[in-house]
Copies of this chain bind each other. A is one copy, B any other.
Amino acid sequence: MAEIKYSEKEISIFNGLINLMKEGINPYAIKVSDIAKAADIGKGTIYDYFDSKEEVISKAIVYSIGEEIRLITEKVRDKDKFKDRYYAILEIIGESHKKKLSTLGMLLSSGGIDKFYESLKDKECAISDFIDLINGEIVQLLNLGIQEKKIESKETMEYKIMAVIGSMHSFSYYYNNKSLHKKLTTEDAKDMAYKILLKSLS
């Protein structure tokens, strides 16, 4: 994955913007002056580092996904038990639902991020790299499970990845429609997703 290096100033612009997006503001509704205010700099300074508003937003999203994935990877690698690691992932999915900008959610989502950010100027170089990273993490998770004999290895890798993604989504769906499932705790939902995973990989 081509590592893009950004200057400190660029990163502080990104972070301001990402915070705005996490507040749930539609990226297309954000004004340049908002971005400047969020980064606590002058409007003109933005244009010393980027060519257009579009470019700031595109690059900020790509940067944000990269950071989020870095964070997830870090948090998850701590866990060396299959179940712990899976639950850690569900934990992160749950947390990212609380934020408005869930890049992980978007990547996993049925539409994919590209449906909504087709205008991303640099997506060509970035999005599929991210997918690869996510897939790599899933493969490692599966290997743990196989070592621990929690799951079978007989199915193809495609099947196994699909099963993981599916189970994660089932949790996500619960989380997203919490109001419809008031009897269910988050822990219940995690257990159910885990059960789905184990059974589909048994």
Residues of A bordering B, CB below 8 Å: 24, 26, 28-29, 93, 97, 100, 102, 105-106, 108-112, 115-116, 118-119, 128, 131, 135, 158-159, 162-163, 165-174, 176-177, 179-181, 183-184, 189, 192-193, 195-196, 199-202
User: When the two chains form the complex, which single residue of B167, B173, B193 contacts A110, counting CB atoms closer than 8 Å?
Assistant: B173
- Nearest B residue to A196 via CB reads B200
The reply to whether A158 and B172 contact each other, CB–CB distance below 8 Å, is no
The reply to whether B174 and A108 contact each other, CB–CB distance below 8 Å, is no
Cα distance A171–B193 in the bound complex, in angstroms: 17
Q: Least Cβ distance of A117 to chain B in Å?
A: 9
The reply to whether A162 and B180 contact each other, CB–CB distance below 8 Å, is no
User: Which residues of B lie under 8 Å from residue A199 when comparing CB positions?
Assistant: 199-202
Residue with the highest number of chain B CB atoms closer than 10 Å, among A105, A110, A193, A201? A110
Copies in the complex: 4
User: When the two chains form the complex, which single residue of B102, B135, B195, B196 contacts A111, counting CB atoms closer than 8 Å?
Assistant: B102
Q: Least Cβ distance of A109 to chain B in Å?
A: 4
Residue with the highest number of chain B CB atoms closer than 10 Å, among A172, A179, A180? A172
Cα distance A193–B158 in the bound complex, in angstroms: 11
Q: Least Cβ distance of A81 to chain B in Å?
A: 22
- Nearest B residue to A26 via CB reads B28
Cα distance A131–B176 in the bound complex, in angstroms: 11
- Nearest B residue to A116 via CB reads B116
The reply to whether A159 and B100 contact each other, CB–CB distance below 8 Å, is no
User: Which residues of B lie under 8 Å from residue A167 when comparing CB positions?
Assistant: 166, 200
User: Which residues of B lie under 8 Å from residue A97 when comparing CB positions?
Assistant: 110
Q: Least Cβ distance of A137 to chain B in Å?
A: 14
User: When the two chains form the complex, which single residue of B111, B181, B189, B201 contacts A106, counting CB atoms closer than 8 Å?
Assistant: B111
Cα distance A199–B199 in the bound complex, in angstroms: 6
With contacts A159-B192, A159-B195, A163-B196 known, is A172 near B110, CB below 8 A?
A: yes
